[in-house]
Amino acid sequence: MSLAERRDRLAARVAELQWDLGGLAYEMAIRDHFRPDVLARRAAELQRADAELGEVERLLRLEAAAAAGECSGCGAVHSRGAVFCWQCGARLVRRSESRPGRTTPRWYASHGPASDRCNGRGDASAGGLEVGVEHC
């Protein structure tokens, strides 16, 4: 069953449970005989169905937006690889201070960053690319 079908079934179930709970409370009120335990059981069933419906709707929103998650600060959806929220600017990925076992790759240690090898602009020479010169 697709998420959209599941949402539709859950929405119908939540509406039915709300209707039943309201009717049950009304019937108890006109008979002046309240059973809080029965009302609490029905309300808990409604709450579970409503929570599941909310989760399915959230998944559908993420799927529709082709998003990878939501910002914990404002709830805006974000795509894979995003570091900052586009709406509030909050950091989406926590920064790790130290990574045990991580070493500098050999090629990086011997060559350094591209800005050290080049003239700061990413090209190997001021006048363009030269034949036989290692380019960045």
Q: Which residues pair with 77 in a beta bridge?
A: 70
- Beta bridge pairs of residue 84: 91
Task: Report how far residue 76's alpha carbon sits from residue 73's, in angstroms, rounded to the nearest whole number.
Answer: 8
Q: How confident is the model at residue 123 (pLDDT cuts 50, 70, 90)?
A: very low
Please report, for residues 74, 92, 100, 119, the alpha-carbon distance to residue 61 in angstroms, rounded to integers and kept in the order given. Answer: 15, 18, 37, 46
**Average pLDDT along the chain:** 76
Q: Report residue 103's pLDDT band, with 50, 70 and 90 as the boundaries.
A: low
pLDDT in tens, 16-65: 999 999 999 999 999 999 999 999 999 999 999 999 999 889 888 877 76
Instruction: Choose between 103 and 95: higher pLDDT.
Output: 95
**CA gyration radius for the chain?**
29
Contact criterion met (CB below 8 Å) for 28 and 35: yes
Per-domain boundaries in the chain = 3-78
